[in-house]
Amino acid sequence: MEDIILENLSKDFGGFRAVDNVNLTIKSGELFSFLGPSGCGKTTLLRMIAGFELPSSGAVRLGDQDISDLPPYKREVNTIFQNYSLFPHMTLFDNVAFGLRIKRRPKGEIKERVQEMLNLVKMEDQAAKYPNQISGGQKQRIAIARALINKPHVLLLDEPLAALDLKLRQHMLIELMNIHDAVGITFIYVTHDQSEAMSISDRLAVMNRGKIVQSGPPDDIYERPASIFSAYFIGETNLVSGTVTAVYKDYVELDCPDGSGKSFQIDSSFQKTPEAGSRITLSLRPEKIAIARNKPRHQDDINMIKGQIEDILYLGTHTQYIVRVGLLKFRVFSQHKRVYFDDKALDWEENVWLFWHDTDTWVVETLEGEEMPETELNEGGNLQRYVKRGKS
């Protein structure tokens, strides 16, 4: 088994650079995801690995072999297409058998292997049906069986769950992980859905404007975002930008947009301490922040800020509070644990304390030319992002 290596890979469409100098090694057997908004170049990248697009520069390598210029039918790479692309004029059996028939394998072998594949995806009793007679989830399974029958080194999955409804999506995600474990080959998964990518991947790469912004294991990217983009694209976050006015041991003082000086406690053993005078952005995950009516007991490693509740959104698993602190707004996720709130629930306009551990104040390097996303830190921001995610 061989690694997939992308070397200085770029793709231009006319004047538009869809993929911009990507360098990456995807290890053999890994379940790797490319995650990014639509138009970030992730599908183009996938199509270059599959052979549907030729790179403008750079190379795609499978182990020692440069496969950049090979046509799709000569690559030991198979694809699950977004709309499955099952052949409508063939039975499910014939669909799965297609790859072997092209290779002119003997009939007995074809029958055996197709059966094996149909068993793998639990579709053995539907072989005689046609693609239009089965559901979306079943089409998905057949597409997987069809792609795996050629025993590829790598399976590419292009937004494979986008067409399914939520419950089925969650179910298929687990199924995909089981299939990955069963066949043991490299899976490269492309999605714009961060929860999908986080739950399924061994490692993932966050992409924006043709570039890989950050790559690593999901928890690493979530807990330690390397840029503003990965901080706000993966999960929810509060971003606070400002100029560092003073640095103490485990303290930074920020000149915040509201003109107030605020100090944030950070753990310098956990991350690099920024220099005074530099512009930085802090990322505070909403679920890391605790909210309470009474001032908590002072502790050395705890940040504390006083604010006022502006909005409350009840979401079942948790409640989202929007808390105004001066001109800043913080989003806070809190579960309804009666252990904490045995008194009456928090209400609109109430004055509250927000507090979080110093390791959760994550200093994000502001990359050259990177701007704060408009939807963040303003009132409608939260809701807009919920709507956006639900749509596609």
Partner 1 sequence: MQNSLQTKQEHRKNLSSWLLSLPTLIWLSCFFLIPYLIVTIYSFLSPDIYDVKFEVSLDAYRQIFSGDYLRPFILSFRLAIYTTLLCIVLGFPVAYFIARAKEKTKNLLLIFIIIPFWTNLIIRIFSWRIFLAYNGVMNDTLMNMGLISQPLEILRTDLAVILVMVYVYLPYMILPLYSVLEKLDFTLLNAAMDLGANEVKAFFRITLPLAVEGIFAGTLLVFIPALGAYLIPQLVGNQQSLYIGQVITYKIKNIPRNWPMASALSLTLLLLVAFLLLVMYGLYRHHQKRKVWQ
135 binds partner 1 (CB under 8 A): no
Q: Residues 23, 119, 133, 378: which binds partner 1 (CB under 8 A)?
A: 133
88 binds partner 1 (CB under 8 A): yes
Q: Residues 14, 38, 89, 316: which binds partner 1 (CB under 8 A)?
A: 89
In the region spanning residues 321 to 350, those forming contacts with partner 1, defined by CB under 8 A, are none
Closest separation in Å from C-beta 179 to partner 1: 18
314 binds partner 1 (CB under 8 A): no
Residue number, 77 or 188, with CB nearest to partner 1 = 77
**Residue of 286, 287, 328, 323 whose CA lies nearest to 307:** 323
Closest separation in Å from C-beta 226 to partner 1: 34
83 binds partner 1 (CB under 8 A): yes
Residue number, 85 or 375, with CB nearest to partner 1 = 85
Distance CA 53, CA 321 (A): 46
54 binds partner 1 (CB under 8 A): no
Q: Residues 59, 130, 236, 319: which binds partner 1 (CB under 8 A)?
A: 130
Closest separation in Å from C-beta 21 to partner 1: 26
- Over the chain, what HEC string results? CCCEEEEEEEEEECCEEEEEEEEEEECCCCEEEEECCCCCCHHHHHHHHHCCCCCCEEEEEECCEECCCCCHHHCCEEEECCCCCCCCCCCHHHHHHHHHHHCCCCHHHHHHHHHHHHHHCCCHHHCCCCHHHCCHHHHHHHHHHHHHCCCCCEEEEECCCCCCCHHHHHHHHHHHHHHHHHHCCEEEEEECCHHHHHHHCCEEEEEECCEEEEEECHHHHHHCCCCHHHHHHCCCCEEEEEEEEEEECCEEEEECCCCCEEEEECCCCCCCCCCCCCEEEEEECHHHCEEECCCCCCCCCEEEEEEEEEEEEECCCCEEEEEEECCEEEEEEECCCCCCCCCCCCCCCCEEEEEEEHHHCEEECCCCCCCCCCCCCCCCHHHHHHHHHHHC
72 binds partner 1 (CB under 8 A): yes
- Whether 120 and 148 have beta carbons less than 8 Å apart is answered as yes
Report how many residues bind partner 1 under the rule CB under 8 A.
27
Q: Residues 123, 144, 147, 305: which binds partner 1 (CB under 8 A)?
A: 147
298 binds partner 1 (CB under 8 A): no
131 binds partner 1 (CB under 8 A): yes
248 binds partner 1 (CB under 8 A): no
Residue number, 94 or 350, with CB nearest to partner 1 = 94
In the region spanning residues 344 to 383, those forming contacts with partner 1, defined by CB under 8 A, are none
126 binds partner 1 (CB under 8 A): no
Q: Residues 1, 54, 102, 367: which binds partner 1 (CB under 8 A)?
A: 102
- Whether 101 and 110 have beta carbons less than 8 Å apart is answered as yes
Closest separation in Å from C-beta 188 to partner 1: 14
Q: Residues 73, 315, 390, 391: which binds partner 1 (CB under 8 A)?
A: 73
50 binds partner 1 (CB under 8 A): yes
* First vs last C-alpha separation in the chain: 35
Q: Which stretch binds partner 1 (CB under 8 A): 13-21, 94-102, 195-203, 263-271?
A: 94-102
Closest separation in Å from C-beta 80 to partner 1: 10
Q: Residues 36, 41, 55, 99: which binds partner 1 (CB under 8 A)?
A: 99
- Whether 116 and 140 have beta carbons less than 8 Å apart is answered as no
Residue number, 42 or 285, with CB nearest to partner 1 = 42
- Judged by the rule CB under 8 A, the positions of this chain that interact with partner 1 are 50-52, 71-73, 77-79, 81, 83, 85-89, 98-99, 102-103, 130-133, 146-147, 150
